Amino acid sequence: MEIAKVWNIIWHNEFFHWAVAFVLIVAIIVELCTLWQYWLSECGTTQAAIKFLNNFKKGKNVKLSNKVRPWLKDHLGTDDSSRFRQQDGNFILIKYPSVLAHPIPRSSLRFVTTLCTAIGLLGTFYGIQRCTKTSSNW
């Protein structure tokens, strides 16, 4: 019950509360969409190719998809499964997948935490000003 009392003190449906909530929700949605696009453009093909190679190495009957074929040609030198070069049971790459070498790019939303803090600080000053204005009328 104490949490409800604290929540009622903190949340008064002021503009600043809604502004912080809106900025935060929009930032989360944008960040998730950006990550999904990065995954589809950079990581999806590499994951499919690694999965194909793991299944091939285990001796499973795998079908070579059109999505994986160009990746195999670029990184292994051939898309013919009988001609994969192996050494000690490992595949020999002629070109390392660049997506595995560099980290996920930095977000373009680095400023969101600062923006939410600034809105909260403005809301604090507004609340102090409002409280002193109403208390002086007594």
Domain ranges of the chain: 14-69+108-136
- Cα–Cα nearest to 20, from 128, 121, 129: 121
- Cα–Cα nearest to 105, from 43, 44, 50: 43
Q: What share of the chain is helix, strand, coil (3-state, %, to 5)?
A: 65, 5, 30
Phi, psi dihedral angles at 26 (to 5 degrees): -65, -40
Kind and range of the H or E run holding 87: strand 86-87
Q: What is the C-alpha separation between 73 and 80, in angstroms, rounded? A: 9
Q: Tell me the whole-structure pTM to 2 decimals.
A: 0.60
Q: Count helices and strands (H / E) in the chain.
A: 6, 2
pLDDT band per the 50, 70, 90 thresholds, residue 137? low
Q: What is the C-alpha separation between 132 and 138, in angstroms, rounded? A: 10
pLDDT tens digits, residue range 1-34?
577 776 666 666 678 878 888 888 999 999 899 8
